[in-house]
Structure 1
Protein backbone atom coordinates (compact mmCIF):
# COMPACT_ATOMS: atom_id res chain seq x y z
CA UNK A 1 0.00 0.00 0.00
CA UNK A 2 1.37 3.40 -1.00
CA UNK A 3 0.52 6.93 0.14
CA UNK A 4 -1.06 7.73 -3.21
CA UNK A 5 -3.64 4.99 -2.61
CA UNK A 6 -4.75 6.79 0.56
CA UNK A 7 -4.78 10.21 -1.09
CA UNK A 8 -6.81 8.91 -4.03
CA UNK A 9 -9.28 7.14 -1.76
CA UNK A 10 -9.83 10.25 0.39
CA UNK A 11 -10.29 12.45 -2.69
CA UNK A 12 -13.00 10.16 -4.07
CA UNK A 13 -14.72 9.90 -0.70
CA UNK A 14 -14.74 13.69 -0.20
CA UNK A 15 -15.97 14.56 -3.70
CA UNK A 16 -18.37 11.66 -4.03
CA UNK A 17 -17.33 11.21 -7.64
CA UNK A 18 -14.53 9.41 -9.46
CA UNK A 19 -14.76 11.91 -12.31
CA UNK A 20 -14.60 15.01 -10.12
CA UNK A 21 -11.80 13.57 -7.99
CA UNK A 22 -9.78 12.60 -11.06
CA UNK A 23 -10.19 15.86 -12.96
CA UNK A 24 -10.30 18.53 -10.25
CA UNK A 25 -8.41 17.12 -7.29
CA UNK A 26 -5.91 14.59 -8.60
CA UNK A 27 -5.37 15.65 -12.21
CA UNK A 28 -5.32 12.12 -13.47
CA UNK A 29 -7.56 10.01 -15.68
CA UNK A 30 -10.66 8.30 -14.34
CA UNK A 31 -9.58 4.81 -15.49
CA UNK A 32 -6.25 5.23 -13.71
CA UNK A 33 -8.02 6.40 -10.55
CA UNK A 34 -10.46 3.47 -10.66
CA UNK A 35 -7.54 1.08 -10.98
CA UNK A 36 -5.81 2.62 -7.95
CA UNK A 37 -8.98 2.28 -5.88
CA UNK A 38 -9.35 -1.37 -6.89
CA UNK A 39 -5.70 -2.01 -5.93
CA UNK A 40 -6.34 -0.45 -2.52
CA UNK A 41 -9.46 -2.53 -1.93
CA UNK A 42 -7.56 -5.68 -2.97
CA UNK A 43 -4.88 -4.92 -0.40
CA UNK A 44 -7.36 -4.11 2.37
CA UNK A 45 -9.47 -7.13 1.44
CA UNK A 46 -12.88 -5.43 1.55
CA UNK A 47 -14.94 -3.05 -0.58
CA UNK A 48 -14.41 0.54 0.61
CA UNK A 49 -16.57 2.41 -1.93
CA UNK A 50 -19.88 1.62 -3.55
CA UNK A 51 -21.29 3.18 -6.70
CA UNK A 52 -24.94 4.24 -6.92
CA UNK A 53 -27.16 6.64 -8.80
CA UNK A 54 -26.18 9.33 -6.29
CA UNK A 55 -22.48 8.85 -6.98
CA UNK A 56 -19.75 7.10 -5.04
CA UNK A 57 -20.40 6.42 -1.37
CA UNK A 58 -18.40 4.94 1.48
CA UNK A 59 -19.28 1.45 2.61
CA UNK A 60 -19.33 0.65 6.32
CA UNK A 61 -15.75 -0.58 5.92
CA UNK A 62 -14.83 2.60 4.06
CA UNK A 63 -16.21 4.77 6.86
CA UNK A 64 -14.07 2.87 9.34
CA UNK A 65 -11.02 3.12 7.10
CA UNK A 66 -11.11 6.80 6.14
CA UNK A 67 -10.34 8.31 9.56
CA UNK A 68 -7.26 6.13 9.89
CA UNK A 69 -6.23 7.03 6.34
CA UNK A 70 -6.48 10.74 7.12
CA UNK A 71 -4.52 10.27 10.33
CA UNK A 72 -1.78 8.40 8.48
CA UNK A 73 -1.44 11.17 5.89
CA UNK A 74 -1.44 13.85 8.59
CA UNK A 75 1.35 12.05 10.38
CA UNK A 76 3.35 11.80 7.17
CA UNK A 77 2.86 15.53 6.51
CA UNK A 78 3.93 16.30 10.08
CA UNK A 79 7.02 14.13 9.67
CA UNK A 80 7.95 15.93 6.44
CA UNK A 81 7.54 19.35 8.07
CA UNK A 82 9.58 18.29 11.10
CA UNK A 83 12.38 17.06 8.85
CA UNK A 84 12.39 20.31 6.87
CA UNK A 85 12.47 22.39 10.03
CA UNK A 86 15.31 20.30 11.45
CA UNK A 87 17.35 20.84 8.28
CA UNK A 88 17.13 24.63 8.67
CA UNK A 89 18.55 26.97 11.30
CA UNK A 90 16.01 27.43 14.08
CA UNK A 91 13.68 30.37 13.55
CA UNK A 92 10.84 31.40 15.82
CA UNK A 93 7.37 31.63 14.36
CA UNK A 94 5.00 34.56 14.82
CA UNK A 95 1.53 34.30 13.29
CA UNK A 96 -0.44 37.51 12.79
CA UNK A 97 -4.12 37.71 11.90
CA UNK A 98 -6.10 40.66 10.57
CA UNK A 99 -9.76 41.46 10.20
CA UNK A 100 -10.10 41.44 6.42
CA UNK A 101 -9.12 44.86 5.09
CA UNK A 102 -7.36 46.03 8.25
CA UNK A 103 -4.03 44.60 7.12
CA UNK A 104 -3.67 47.54 4.73
CA UNK A 105 -3.36 49.89 7.70
CA UNK A 106 -1.86 47.74 10.42
CA UNK A 107 0.49 45.27 8.74
CA UNK A 108 3.14 47.91 7.88
CA UNK A 109 3.03 49.16 11.48
CA UNK A 110 3.32 45.64 12.86
CA UNK A 111 6.25 44.82 10.61
CA UNK A 112 8.00 48.03 11.71
CA UNK A 113 7.85 46.80 15.30
CA UNK A 114 9.22 43.40 14.29
CA UNK A 115 11.83 44.61 11.80
CA UNK A 116 14.82 44.03 14.10
CA UNK A 117 13.62 40.50 14.81
CA UNK A 118 12.77 39.48 11.24
CA UNK A 119 16.10 37.71 10.53
CA UNK A 120 15.27 35.32 13.37
CA UNK A 121 11.50 35.12 13.05
CA UNK A 122 9.21 33.63 10.42
CA UNK A 123 6.18 35.93 10.30
CA UNK A 124 3.01 34.55 8.74
CA UNK A 125 -0.02 36.70 7.93
CA UNK A 126 -3.65 35.76 7.41
CA UNK A 127 -6.98 37.57 7.31
CA UNK A 128 -10.55 36.58 8.07
CA UNK A 129 -13.68 37.26 10.10
CA UNK A 130 -13.22 38.38 13.68
CA UNK A 131 -14.74 35.27 15.35
CA UNK A 132 -12.52 33.03 13.22
CA UNK A 133 -9.46 35.05 14.20
CA UNK A 134 -10.42 34.77 17.87
CA UNK A 135 -10.72 31.01 17.52
CA UNK A 136 -7.32 30.90 15.83
CA UNK A 137 -5.73 32.79 18.71
CA UNK A 138 -7.50 30.64 21.30
CA UNK A 139 -6.28 27.43 19.61
CA UNK A 140 -2.72 28.68 19.24
CA UNK A 141 -2.79 28.95 15.45
CA UNK A 142 -2.32 32.71 15.71
CA UNK A 143 -0.14 34.56 18.19
CA UNK A 144 -1.97 37.85 17.85
CA UNK A 145 -4.82 39.24 15.78
CA UNK A 146 -6.26 42.65 14.94
CA UNK A 147 -9.97 42.07 15.47
CA UNK A 148 -13.03 42.83 17.59
CA UNK A 149 -13.06 41.98 21.29
CA UNK A 150 -15.06 38.78 20.84
CA UNK A 151 -16.95 37.97 24.06
CA UNK A 152 -17.11 34.21 23.49
CA UNK A 153 -13.34 33.65 23.80
CA UNK A 154 -11.12 33.88 26.88
CA UNK A 155 -8.52 36.20 25.39
CA UNK A 156 -6.78 39.39 26.42
CA UNK A 157 -7.62 42.47 24.36
CA UNK A 158 -6.11 45.92 23.98
CA UNK A 159 -7.88 48.57 21.92
CA UNK A 160 -5.66 50.12 19.24
CA UNK A 161 -8.18 52.32 17.41
CA UNK A 162 -11.80 53.32 17.06
CA UNK A 163 -13.70 53.95 13.87
CA UNK A 164 -17.18 55.32 13.16
CA UNK A 165 -20.07 53.64 11.48
CA UNK A 166 -20.95 54.98 8.05
CA UNK A 167 -23.98 54.48 5.77
CA UNK A 168 -23.40 52.27 2.74
CA UNK A 169 -25.70 52.77 -0.27
CA UNK A 170 -25.84 52.34 -4.06
CA UNK A 171 -23.76 54.94 -5.91
CA UNK A 172 -26.87 56.46 -7.53
CA UNK A 173 -29.06 56.38 -4.40
CA UNK A 174 -31.04 59.53 -3.62
CA UNK A 175 -29.20 59.88 -0.28
CA UNK A 176 -25.84 59.89 -2.06
CA UNK A 177 -26.35 63.59 -2.85
CA UNK A 178 -26.18 64.46 0.86
CA UNK A 179 -23.06 65.25 2.83
CA UNK A 180 -24.39 63.40 5.89
CA UNK A 181 -27.33 61.05 6.47
CA UNK A 182 -29.75 61.31 9.37
CA UNK A 183 -30.25 58.02 11.23
CA UNK A 184 -34.01 58.41 10.79
CA UNK A 185 -33.58 58.20 7.00
CA UNK A 186 -32.51 54.58 7.43
CA UNK A 187 -36.07 53.52 8.19
CA UNK A 188 -37.33 54.74 4.80
CA UNK A 189 -35.40 52.21 2.70
CA UNK A 190 -34.68 48.45 2.68
CA UNK A 191 -31.99 47.69 5.24
CA UNK A 192 -29.43 44.88 5.37
CA UNK A 193 -28.29 43.83 8.84
CA UNK A 194 -25.14 42.11 9.98
CA UNK A 195 -25.63 38.43 10.78
CA UNK A 196 -25.13 37.02 14.26
CA UNK A 197 -21.61 35.84 13.38
CA UNK A 198 -20.53 39.49 13.30
CA UNK A 199 -21.69 39.71 16.91
CA UNK A 200 -19.73 42.77 18.03
CA UNK A 201 -20.61 44.96 15.05
CA UNK A 202 -24.23 43.81 15.14
CA UNK A 203 -24.49 44.74 18.84
CA UNK A 204 -23.13 48.25 18.23
CA UNK A 205 -25.52 48.82 15.32
CA UNK A 206 -28.57 47.47 17.17
CA UNK A 207 -27.77 49.61 20.23
CA UNK A 208 -27.39 52.69 18.03
CA UNK A 209 -30.72 52.16 16.26
CA UNK A 210 -32.49 51.57 19.57
CA UNK A 211 -30.89 54.67 21.11
CA UNK A 212 -31.97 56.70 18.08
CA UNK A 213 -35.57 55.47 18.42
CA UNK A 214 -35.47 53.71 15.05
CA UNK A 215 -37.22 50.40 14.50
CA UNK A 216 -36.00 48.54 11.41
CA UNK A 217 -36.92 45.07 10.16
CA UNK A 218 -33.95 43.97 8.01
CA UNK A 219 -34.72 42.56 4.60
CA UNK A 220 -31.61 40.34 4.76
CA UNK A 221 -28.71 39.53 7.07
CA UNK A 222 -25.12 38.87 5.97
CA UNK A 223 -21.67 38.64 7.58
CA UNK A 224 -19.42 38.87 4.52
CA UNK A 225 -18.28 42.43 3.60
CA UNK A 226 -18.12 41.60 -0.10
CA UNK A 227 -21.64 40.16 0.02
CA UNK A 228 -22.89 43.21 1.92
CA UNK A 229 -21.65 45.49 -0.84
CA UNK A 230 -23.08 43.30 -3.60
CA UNK A 231 -26.48 43.15 -1.95
CA UNK A 232 -26.57 46.88 -1.26
CA UNK A 233 -25.89 47.55 -4.94
CA UNK A 234 -28.25 44.90 -6.33
CA UNK A 235 -31.20 45.35 -3.95
CA UNK A 236 -30.85 49.14 -3.58
CA UNK A 237 -30.66 48.79 0.16
CA UNK A 238 -28.84 50.63 2.93
CA UNK A 239 -26.66 49.28 5.69
CA UNK A 240 -24.23 50.46 8.35
CA UNK A 241 -20.60 49.39 8.17
CA UNK A 242 -17.37 50.22 10.00
CA UNK A 243 -15.54 52.98 8.15
CA UNK A 244 -12.47 50.86 7.32
CA UNK A 245 -14.52 48.92 4.78
CA UNK A 246 -14.57 52.04 2.61
CA UNK A 247 -11.13 50.88 1.45
CA UNK A 248 -12.76 47.83 -0.13
CA UNK A 249 -15.76 49.45 -1.84
CA UNK A 250 -16.38 48.85 -5.55
CA UNK A 251 -17.68 51.62 -7.83
CA UNK A 252 -21.26 50.44 -7.41
CA UNK A 253 -21.56 51.63 -3.80
CA UNK A 254 -20.68 54.76 -1.83
CA UNK A 255 -20.65 55.71 1.83
CA UNK A 256 -21.81 58.77 3.71
CA UNK A 257 -21.21 59.84 7.32
CA UNK A 258 -23.99 59.65 9.87
CA UNK A 259 -25.30 62.85 11.39
CA UNK A 260 -25.24 63.44 15.12
CA UNK A 261 -23.68 61.24 17.77
CA UNK A 262 -22.01 58.58 15.63
CA UNK A 263 -21.21 55.24 17.31
CA UNK A 264 -17.61 54.06 17.34
CA UNK A 265 -16.39 50.48 17.00
CA UNK A 266 -13.21 49.31 18.70
CA UNK A 267 -10.42 47.54 16.87
CA UNK A 268 -8.33 45.55 19.32
CA UNK A 269 -5.35 43.28 19.32
CA UNK A 270 -6.28 39.95 20.85
CA UNK A 271 -3.86 37.41 22.30
CA UNK A 272 -3.80 34.52 24.74
CA UNK A 273 -2.39 35.19 28.21
CA UNK A 274 -1.03 31.64 28.15
CA UNK A 275 1.14 32.37 25.11
CA UNK A 276 4.74 32.66 26.34
CA UNK A 277 6.24 33.60 22.97
CA UNK A 278 9.12 36.08 23.43
CA UNK A 279 8.17 37.67 20.11
CA UNK A 280 4.64 38.29 21.41
CA UNK A 281 6.11 39.78 24.60
CA UNK A 282 8.25 42.14 22.51
CA UNK A 283 5.29 43.11 20.33
CA UNK A 284 3.08 43.89 23.32
CA UNK A 285 5.81 46.01 24.90
CA UNK A 286 5.71 48.29 21.87
CA UNK A 287 1.97 48.67 21.39
CA UNK A 288 2.19 52.42 22.09
CA UNK A 289 4.53 52.75 19.09
CA UNK A 290 2.07 50.69 17.05
CA UNK A 291 -0.80 53.05 17.89
CA UNK A 292 1.00 56.36 17.46
CA UNK A 293 2.94 55.50 14.31
CA UNK A 294 1.43 57.32 11.29
CA UNK A 295 -0.66 55.26 8.89
CA UNK A 296 1.06 54.42 5.59
CA UNK A 297 0.57 57.02 2.87
CA UNK A 298 -1.11 56.43 -0.50
Structure 2
Protein backbone atom coordinates (compact mmCIF):
# COMPACT_ATOMS: atom_id res chain seq x y z
CA UNK A 1 0.00 0.00 0.00
CA UNK A 2 2.80 2.43 0.87
CA UNK A 3 4.56 1.67 -2.44
CA UNK A 4 1.35 2.30 -4.39
CA UNK A 5 0.81 5.57 -2.50
CA UNK A 6 4.35 6.77 -3.29
CA UNK A 7 4.02 5.76 -6.95
CA UNK A 8 0.72 7.63 -7.29
CA UNK A 9 2.22 10.67 -5.59
CA UNK A 10 5.15 10.64 -8.01
CA UNK A 11 2.75 10.18 -10.93
CA UNK A 12 0.68 13.20 -9.91
CA UNK A 13 3.80 15.41 -9.73
CA UNK A 14 4.96 14.31 -13.19
CA UNK A 15 1.44 14.83 -14.56
CA UNK A 16 1.35 18.36 -13.14
CA UNK A 17 4.84 19.30 -14.40
CA UNK A 18 4.77 17.29 -17.67
CA UNK A 19 8.54 17.30 -17.31
CA UNK A 20 10.51 14.55 -15.60
CA UNK A 21 13.40 16.82 -14.62
CA UNK A 22 11.22 19.40 -12.87
CA UNK A 23 9.16 16.64 -11.27
CA UNK A 24 12.30 14.97 -9.93
CA UNK A 25 13.43 18.25 -8.36
CA UNK A 26 10.03 18.70 -6.69
CA UNK A 27 10.29 15.19 -5.31
CA UNK A 28 13.90 15.69 -4.18
CA UNK A 29 15.15 12.73 -6.18
CA UNK A 30 17.14 12.12 -9.34
CA UNK A 31 15.39 11.63 -12.67
CA UNK A 32 16.33 7.97 -13.48
CA UNK A 33 14.65 6.47 -10.37
CA UNK A 34 11.59 8.61 -11.07
CA UNK A 35 11.37 7.39 -14.67
CA UNK A 36 11.74 3.81 -13.44
CA UNK A 37 8.99 4.33 -10.86
CA UNK A 38 6.59 5.63 -13.53
CA UNK A 39 7.39 2.72 -15.87
CA UNK A 40 6.72 0.27 -13.04
CA UNK A 41 3.40 1.97 -12.36
CA UNK A 42 2.46 1.67 -16.03
CA UNK A 43 3.25 -2.02 -15.89
CA UNK A 44 1.19 -2.44 -12.73
CA UNK A 45 -1.89 -0.72 -14.17
CA UNK A 46 -1.42 -2.26 -17.63
CA UNK A 47 -1.61 1.04 -19.52
CA UNK A 48 0.66 3.75 -20.87
CA UNK A 49 0.21 6.89 -18.82
CA UNK A 50 2.45 9.32 -20.69
CA UNK A 51 3.48 9.81 -24.30
CA UNK A 52 7.11 10.85 -24.28
CA UNK A 53 9.13 12.56 -27.00
CA UNK A 54 12.46 14.32 -26.85
CA UNK A 55 10.57 17.61 -26.64
CA UNK A 56 7.47 16.93 -24.55
CA UNK A 57 5.64 14.71 -22.12
CA UNK A 58 1.86 14.41 -22.43
CA UNK A 59 -0.81 12.48 -20.56
CA UNK A 60 -2.59 9.69 -22.38
CA UNK A 61 -6.35 9.18 -21.86
CA UNK A 62 -5.48 6.51 -19.29
CA UNK A 63 -3.12 8.98 -17.62
CA UNK A 64 -5.80 11.66 -17.43
CA UNK A 65 -8.22 9.20 -15.86
CA UNK A 66 -5.63 8.07 -13.32
CA UNK A 67 -4.72 11.69 -12.49
CA UNK A 68 -8.37 12.49 -11.73
CA UNK A 69 -8.76 9.38 -9.56
CA UNK A 70 -5.39 9.91 -7.83
CA UNK A 71 -6.33 13.46 -6.88
CA UNK A 72 -9.64 12.22 -5.48
CA UNK A 73 -7.83 9.55 -3.49
CA UNK A 74 -5.39 12.11 -2.12
CA UNK A 75 -8.21 14.46 -1.15
CA UNK A 76 -10.15 11.63 0.49
CA UNK A 77 -7.07 10.48 2.38
CA UNK A 78 -6.36 14.01 3.58
CA UNK A 79 -9.99 14.45 4.66
CA UNK A 80 -9.90 11.10 6.46
CA UNK A 81 -6.74 12.00 8.36
CA UNK A 82 -8.21 15.37 9.39
CA UNK A 83 -11.52 13.75 10.40
CA UNK A 84 -9.73 11.21 12.58
CA UNK A 85 -7.77 14.03 14.19
CA UNK A 86 -10.94 16.01 14.89
CA UNK A 87 -12.56 12.91 16.37
CA UNK A 88 -9.53 12.21 18.56
CA UNK A 89 -9.61 15.82 19.83
CA UNK A 90 -13.33 15.59 20.56
CA UNK A 91 -14.21 18.10 17.84
CA UNK A 92 -16.51 15.62 16.10
CA UNK A 93 -18.55 12.65 17.21
CA UNK A 94 -21.47 12.39 19.59
CA UNK A 95 -22.17 12.94 23.28
CA UNK A 96 -25.00 11.71 25.46
CA UNK A 97 -25.42 14.36 28.14
CA UNK A 98 -27.59 13.80 31.19
CA UNK A 99 -28.88 16.58 33.43
CA UNK A 100 -31.20 17.11 36.35
CA UNK A 101 -34.06 19.57 36.49
CA UNK A 102 -32.22 22.06 38.69
CA UNK A 103 -29.49 22.59 36.06
CA UNK A 104 -31.81 24.08 33.46
CA UNK A 105 -31.98 27.47 35.18
CA UNK A 106 -28.29 28.33 35.30
CA UNK A 107 -25.65 25.81 34.24
CA UNK A 108 -27.18 23.94 31.31
CA UNK A 109 -28.10 26.88 29.03
CA UNK A 110 -24.68 28.51 29.32
CA UNK A 111 -22.65 25.34 28.85
CA UNK A 112 -24.73 24.19 25.86
CA UNK A 113 -24.30 27.58 24.16
CA UNK A 114 -20.53 27.55 24.78
CA UNK A 115 -20.20 23.91 23.71
CA UNK A 116 -22.13 24.50 20.49
CA UNK A 117 -20.00 27.56 19.68
CA UNK A 118 -16.75 25.67 20.23
CA UNK A 119 -17.74 22.25 18.83
CA UNK A 120 -20.60 22.73 16.36
CA UNK A 121 -20.01 19.36 14.67
CA UNK A 122 -20.65 17.24 17.76
CA UNK A 123 -24.06 15.56 17.86
CA UNK A 124 -25.70 15.99 21.28
CA UNK A 125 -28.28 13.69 22.81
CA UNK A 126 -29.87 15.13 25.96
CA UNK A 127 -31.41 13.04 28.73
CA UNK A 128 -33.20 14.54 31.74
CA UNK A 129 -33.59 12.23 34.75
CA UNK A 130 -33.09 12.25 38.49
CA UNK A 131 -29.51 12.25 39.74
CA UNK A 132 -29.59 8.63 40.85
CA UNK A 133 -30.72 7.39 37.44
CA UNK A 134 -28.16 9.58 35.67
CA UNK A 135 -25.26 8.32 37.78
CA UNK A 136 -26.33 4.76 37.06
CA UNK A 137 -26.55 5.68 33.36
CA UNK A 138 -22.95 6.93 33.42
CA UNK A 139 -21.84 3.80 35.26
CA UNK A 140 -23.43 1.51 32.65
CA UNK A 141 -22.32 3.58 29.65
CA UNK A 142 -25.80 4.72 28.54
CA UNK A 143 -24.83 8.30 29.43
CA UNK A 144 -21.40 9.77 28.61
CA UNK A 145 -21.42 12.61 31.12
CA UNK A 146 -24.03 13.93 33.55
CA UNK A 147 -24.74 17.06 35.56
CA UNK A 148 -26.07 15.80 38.87
CA UNK A 149 -26.64 16.49 42.54
CA UNK A 150 -24.20 13.92 43.80
CA UNK A 151 -24.79 12.17 47.09
CA UNK A 152 -21.59 10.53 48.43
CA UNK A 153 -23.33 7.15 48.39
CA UNK A 154 -23.76 7.42 44.59
CA UNK A 155 -20.05 7.60 43.80
CA UNK A 156 -17.63 4.70 43.38
CA UNK A 157 -14.14 4.07 41.99
CA UNK A 158 -15.44 3.71 38.42
CA UNK A 159 -16.55 7.31 38.27
CA UNK A 160 -14.93 10.72 38.29
CA UNK A 161 -16.73 13.76 39.67
CA UNK A 162 -15.96 17.47 39.46
CA UNK A 163 -17.86 20.02 41.50
CA UNK A 164 -19.19 22.78 39.25
CA UNK A 165 -21.22 25.18 41.39
CA UNK A 166 -22.73 25.45 44.84
CA UNK A 167 -26.26 26.76 45.22
CA UNK A 168 -27.69 28.15 48.43
CA UNK A 169 -30.91 26.52 49.55
CA UNK A 170 -33.72 29.08 49.88
CA UNK A 171 -37.09 28.93 51.55
CA UNK A 172 -39.84 28.94 48.91
CA UNK A 173 -43.26 30.21 49.98
CA UNK A 174 -46.33 32.06 48.71
CA UNK A 175 -45.54 35.75 48.36
CA UNK A 176 -48.10 36.69 51.01
CA UNK A 177 -46.88 34.20 53.62
CA UNK A 178 -46.10 35.80 57.02
CA UNK A 179 -42.45 34.65 56.83
CA UNK A 180 -42.05 36.56 53.56
CA UNK A 181 -41.90 39.77 55.61
CA UNK A 182 -38.50 38.70 56.95
CA UNK A 183 -35.26 39.34 55.11
CA UNK A 184 -34.01 35.94 56.30
CA UNK A 185 -35.96 33.18 58.00
CA UNK A 186 -34.57 31.45 61.12
CA UNK A 187 -34.62 27.67 60.77
CA UNK A 188 -36.39 27.46 64.14
CA UNK A 189 -39.35 29.33 62.60
CA UNK A 190 -40.09 26.26 60.46
CA UNK A 191 -40.89 24.05 63.48
CA UNK A 192 -44.30 22.41 62.95
CA UNK A 193 -45.11 24.30 59.73
CA UNK A 194 -46.54 22.39 56.76
CA UNK A 195 -43.63 21.46 54.53
CA UNK A 196 -43.17 19.86 51.10
CA UNK A 197 -40.11 17.62 51.32
CA UNK A 198 -37.87 15.84 48.86
CA UNK A 199 -38.42 12.17 48.17
CA UNK A 200 -35.57 10.08 49.56
CA UNK A 201 -35.86 7.82 46.50
CA UNK A 202 -36.26 10.33 43.66
CA UNK A 203 -34.30 13.28 45.11
CA UNK A 204 -31.82 11.61 47.44
CA UNK A 205 -29.27 14.44 47.39
CA UNK A 206 -31.68 17.28 48.24
CA UNK A 207 -33.40 15.05 50.79
CA UNK A 208 -30.07 14.58 52.57
CA UNK A 209 -29.21 18.31 52.43
CA UNK A 210 -32.55 19.38 53.93
CA UNK A 211 -32.52 16.65 56.56
CA UNK A 212 -29.01 17.73 57.58
CA UNK A 213 -30.18 21.33 58.11
CA UNK A 214 -33.19 20.27 60.17
CA UNK A 215 -31.23 17.76 62.23
CA UNK A 216 -28.47 20.24 63.06
CA UNK A 217 -31.03 22.79 64.31
CA UNK A 218 -33.31 20.18 65.91
CA UNK A 219 -36.27 21.39 63.87
CA UNK A 220 -39.03 19.21 62.51
CA UNK A 221 -41.59 20.76 60.13
CA UNK A 222 -44.82 18.88 59.42
CA UNK A 223 -44.21 16.96 56.18
CA UNK A 224 -47.37 17.04 54.06
CA UNK A 225 -45.94 15.55 50.86
CA UNK A 226 -42.70 14.19 49.42
CA UNK A 227 -41.83 14.73 45.77
CA UNK A 228 -39.11 16.16 43.50
CA UNK A 229 -38.33 19.71 42.49
CA UNK A 230 -40.76 20.68 39.68
CA UNK A 231 -43.76 19.19 41.49
CA UNK A 232 -42.72 20.73 44.79
CA UNK A 233 -42.88 24.22 43.30
CA UNK A 234 -46.43 23.58 42.13
CA UNK A 235 -47.41 22.28 45.58
CA UNK A 236 -46.01 25.40 47.27
CA UNK A 237 -47.96 27.55 44.84
CA UNK A 238 -51.06 25.53 45.77
CA UNK A 239 -50.37 26.54 49.41
CA UNK A 240 -49.85 22.98 50.60
CA UNK A 241 -46.66 23.95 52.42
CA UNK A 242 -43.23 25.55 52.25
CA UNK A 243 -40.12 24.06 50.65
CA UNK A 244 -36.35 24.49 50.52
CA UNK A 245 -35.09 24.82 46.94
CA UNK A 246 -31.75 25.67 45.30
CA UNK A 247 -31.59 29.40 44.59
CA UNK A 248 -31.47 29.27 40.77
CA UNK A 249 -34.26 26.70 40.49
CA UNK A 250 -37.23 28.99 41.02
CA UNK A 251 -37.69 32.44 39.59
CA UNK A 252 -39.64 34.68 41.91
CA UNK A 253 -43.11 35.35 40.56
CA UNK A 254 -44.38 38.74 41.63
CA UNK A 255 -47.40 38.34 43.86
CA UNK A 256 -47.33 34.52 43.68
CA UNK A 257 -44.09 32.99 45.01
CA UNK A 258 -41.02 34.35 46.75
CA UNK A 259 -37.85 32.98 48.33
CA UNK A 260 -35.89 33.93 51.43
CA UNK A 261 -32.50 32.73 52.74
CA UNK A 262 -32.25 30.87 56.00
CA UNK A 263 -30.83 32.76 58.97
CA UNK A 264 -28.36 31.38 61.48
CA UNK A 265 -27.27 28.39 59.41
CA UNK A 266 -23.67 27.24 59.78
CA UNK A 267 -21.39 28.03 56.85
CA UNK A 268 -21.90 25.52 54.05
CA UNK A 269 -24.71 23.59 55.72
CA UNK A 270 -27.34 25.02 53.37
CA UNK A 271 -25.25 24.74 50.19
CA UNK A 272 -26.14 22.26 47.45
CA UNK A 273 -23.35 21.18 45.11
CA UNK A 274 -23.76 20.40 41.43
CA UNK A 275 -21.27 17.91 40.00
CA UNK A 276 -20.23 16.74 36.58
CA UNK A 277 -19.81 12.94 36.52
CA UNK A 278 -18.18 10.69 33.92
CA UNK A 279 -16.45 7.30 33.81
CA UNK A 280 -12.73 7.16 34.60
CA UNK A 281 -12.20 4.90 31.60
CA UNK A 282 -14.31 7.02 29.22
CA UNK A 283 -13.06 6.39 25.69
CA UNK A 284 -15.20 9.08 24.01
CA UNK A 285 -12.88 12.09 23.40
CA UNK A 286 -15.91 14.41 23.38
CA UNK A 287 -16.31 13.80 27.13
CA UNK A 288 -12.98 15.48 27.81
CA UNK A 289 -13.86 18.37 25.49
CA UNK A 290 -17.22 18.86 27.22
CA UNK A 291 -15.68 18.88 30.69
CA UNK A 292 -13.14 21.49 29.55
CA UNK A 293 -15.92 23.75 28.26
CA UNK A 294 -17.94 23.20 31.42
CA UNK A 295 -15.06 24.12 33.73
CA UNK A 296 -14.36 27.25 31.71
CA UNK A 297 -17.99 28.33 32.15
CA UNK A 298 -18.47 27.35 35.80
CA UNK A 299 -16.25 27.14 38.83
CA UNK A 300 -17.34 26.28 42.38
CA UNK A 301 -18.35 27.87 44.62
CA UNK A 302 -21.31 29.51 42.95
Q: Normalized against structure 1, the TM-score is what?
A: 0.61
The residue number in structure 1 matching 2:11 is: none
Q: Does 1:252 align with 2:256?
A: yes
Call closer, same or farther: CA 1:251–1:153 in 2, change over 3 Å: farther
Q: Does 1:221 align with 2:226?
A: yes
Call closer, same or farther: CA 1:104–1:256 in 2, change over 3 Å: closer
Q: SS at the partner of 1:247?
A: coil
Q: 2:174 aligns with which of 146, 170, 177?
A: 170
Q: Structure 1: which 5+ residue stretches go unaligned?
A: 1-88
The residue number in structure 1 matching 2:120 is: 118
Q: Does 1:243 align with 2:244?
A: no
Write the distance in 2 (CA, Å) between the matches of 1:253 and 1:287. 31
The residue number in structure 1 matching 2:212 is: 207
* C-alpha contact (below 8 Å) 1:138/1:153 kept by paired residues: no
Write the distance in 1 (CA, Å) between the matches of 2:179 and 2:294. 40
The residue number in structure 2 matching 1:139 is: 140
Write the distance in 2 (CA, Å) between the matches of 1:118 and 1:202. 38
- Structure 1 residue 127 displacement after superposition: 2.4
Q: Does 1:184 align with 2:193?
A: no
Q: SS at the partner of 1:141?
A: coil
Call closer, same or farther: CA 1:292–1:283 in 2, change over 3 Å: same
The residue number in structure 2 matching 1:278 is: 285
* C-alpha contact (below 8 Å) 2:114/2:293 kept by paired residues: no
Write the distance in 1 (CA, Å) between the matches of 2:182 and 2:252. 21
- Structure 1 residue 111 displacement after superposition: 4.0
- Structure 1 residue 278 displacement after superposition: 0.8
Write the distance in 2 (CA, Å) between the matches of 1:221 and 1:132. 18
Q: SS at the partner of 2:118?
A: coil
- Structure 1 residue 277 displacement after superposition: 0.8
Q: 2:154 aligns with which of 152, 155, 171?
A: 152
- Structure 1 residue 248 displacement after superposition: 8.1
- Structure 1 residue 187 displacement after superposition: 1.0
Q: Structure 2: which 5+ residue stretches go unaligned?
A: 1-82
* C-alpha contact (below 8 Å) 1:167/1:240 kept by paired residues: yes
Q: Normalized against structure 2, the TM-score is what?
A: 0.60
CA deviations over 1:54-94 (Å, ceiling 9, x no partner)? xxxxxxxxxxxxxxxxxxxxxxxxxxxxxxxxxxx995111
Write the distance in 2 (CA, Å) between the matches of 1:144 and 1:270. 6
The aligned length equals 204
Call closer, same or farther: CA 1:258–1:109 in 2, change over 3 Å: same
Write the distance in 2 (CA, Å) between the matches of 1:92 and 1:214. 51
CA deviations over 1:152-179 (Å, ceiling 9, x no partner)? 3533211011011111112221111221
CA deviations over 1:186-224 (Å, ceiling 9, x no partner)? 11421121111211111111111111121334122112x
Higher Cα Rg: structure 1 or 2? Answer: 2
- Structure 1 residue 184 displacement after superposition: 0.7
The residue number in structure 1 matching 2:52 is: none
The residue number in structure 1 matching 2:56 is: none
The residue number in structure 1 matching 2:57 is: none
* C-alpha contact (below 8 Å) 2:161/2:276 kept by paired residues: yes
CA deviations over 1:4-54 (Å, ceiling 9, x no partner)? xxxxxxxxxxxxxxxxxxxxxxxxxxxxxxxxxxxxxxxxxxxxxxxxxxx
Call closer, same or farther: CA 1:103–1:226 in 2, change over 3 Å: closer
